[in-house]
Amino acid sequence: MSELKYRRILLKLGGEALAGEGGFGINPRRAEELAHKVIHVVNLGVQVAIVIGGGNIWRGKEDGLDHGMERVTADHMGMLATVMNSLALQDALERQGLPTRVMTGIEVRAVAEPYIQRRAVRHLEKGRVVIFGAGTGNPYFTTDTAASLRAMEIDAEALVKATKVDAVYDSDPKVNSHARRFSHLTYIDALNMRVGVMDSTAMAMCMDNDLPIYVVNLWQEGALEKVVYGEPVGTMISA
């Protein structure tokens, strides 16, 4: 068996990874499919932390800001949506025998642990999957930025942005059949191109700390395994 390249990763998921029909709500079957993919990676000996968005439940701009809602209120509602997704994923993982902890940036002690960096690392060392909910706990920061921050705090070796597309393109491949596919980009190129897979704050944080980013199709068979073995897959963004 090939040697693992990465033994601790942070997996960034969008809320649509759990979505039901029409991209909204939580589909338990999708949660189980996602749990299977995480378990396959954990069984290789990889420590996995997860940050998941909340767009399948609440989109702050479309659902709130465009209707006059205060930004802070909209962002706090989005944080709570990520906690709901985190609990759904925790349930799917634990029903398949994988111990999991949800840690949140805002305290909801009845359902999750408050985020403490040293405790999160200890959970990972014990073989538990750690799901970080509620973003950074602060408004005006996206879950992409939360993923970059948590990845740095737990000393992850790579950040995996798992989406519905298989790589970064210079235009929408669904619209432009001649869209150029990138296997590698530098941080600067990705920032200048405004590739859209992560916001600029998150990208700059990874650049400043030399944390490689992989953009892969979550549902492509073996994509996550290829990342941890260092095999070509998706788009790698690095120095």
What was the pLDDT predicted at 187? 95
Helix pair 200-208, 143-153: axis angle to 10 deg: 20
What was the pLDDT predicted at 175? 84
- Amino acid of residue 146: A
Domains in the chain, please, with CATH?
8-238 (3.40.1160.10)
Report the distance separating Cα 202 and Cα 48, nearest Å: 19
Identify the DSSP state of 116.
-
Q: Give the long-range contacts of residues 220-224, CB within 8 A, separation 24 or more.
A: 220/166, 223/162, 223/166, 224/11, 224/37, 224/38, 224/40, 224/41, 224/160, 224/162
Burial class (CB in 10 A: 0-12, 13-18, 19+), 183: exposed
Strand, helix or coil for residue 155: coil
What was the pLDDT predicted at 179? 87
- For the chain of 239 residues, list the mean pLDDT of each consecutive stretch of 10: 89 92 88 96 97 91 82 94 97 97 96 97 98 96 96 98 91 84 94 86 95 95 96 95
What was the pLDDT predicted at 143? 95
